[in-house]
Structure 1
Amino acid sequence: MPELFISAFITLFVVIDPPGCAPIYAGLTKDASPAQARNMALRATAIAAVILLIFAFFGEKLLGALHIQLDSFRIAGGFMLFWIAFEMVFEKRTQRRTERADKINADPEVEDVSVFPMAMPMLAGPGAIAAIMLLMNEADTAAQAAEVFAALGAVLIITAAALVAAGPLIRLLGDKVEAVITRLLGVLLAALATQYVIDGLRGSFGF
Structure 2
Amino acid sequence: MLPFDMMLNAFATLFVTIDPIGLAPIFLAVTSEATKQERIQIGIRSVVVAAGILLTFALVGQVILSVLGISLPAFRIAGGILLFVIAFEMVFEKRKERKSKSAERVMSDDEMHNIAVFPLAIPLISGPGAISAVLLLSSQTSNWVEMGSVLFVVAFVLSLVLFTFVVSGWVEKMLGDNGRNILTRLLGVLLAALSVQFIADGVKALIVG
Counterpart of 1:53 in structure 2: which amino acid? L
Structure 2 CA distance for partners of 1:93 and 1:120, relative to 1, 3 Å:
same
Question: What residue is the counterpart of 1:138 in the other structure?
Answer: 140
Counterpart of 1:158 in structure 2: which amino acid? L
Contact 2:55 2:154 in 1 (8 A): no
Q: Which runs of 4+ in 1 moved over 6 A?
A: none
Q: Deviations over 1:55-98 (max 9, x none)?
A: 11111111111111111111000000000000000000001111
Q: Deviations over 1:134-170 (max 9, x none)?
A: 1011111211111111111111111100011112221
Question: What residue is the counterpart of 1:171 in the other structure?
Answer: 173
- Return the offset for 1:110: 4.3
Counterpart of 1:182 in structure 2: which amino acid? T
Counterparts of 1:1-207 in structure 2, within 5 Å, are 2-206=4-208
Contact 2:31 2:112 in 1 (8 A): no
The runs of 5 or more residues in structure 2 that have no matched partner are: none
Write the distance in 1 (CA, Å) between the matches of 2:91 and 2:165: 22
What is the TM-score normalised by the length of structure 1?
0.97
- Return the offset for 1:108: 2.2
Q: Deviations over 1:149-206 (max 9, x none)?
A: 1111111111100011112221222111111111100000000000000000000012
What is the TM-score normalised by the length of structure 2?
0.96
Q: Secondary structure at the match of 1:2?
A: helix
Counterpart of 1:116 in structure 2: which amino acid? F
Write the distance in 2 (CA, Å) between the matches of 1:5 and 1:176: 30
Write the distance in 2 (CA, Å) between the matches of 1:111 and 1:104: 10
What RMSD in Å do the two structures reach over aligned CA positions?
Answer: 1.3
Matched residues, percent identical?
Answer: 41
The runs of 5 or more residues in structure 1 that have no matched partner are: none
Q: Comparing 141-150 with 73-82, which one deviates more in the overlay? A: 141-150
Write the distance in 2 (CA, Å) between the matches of 1:170 and 1:27: 11
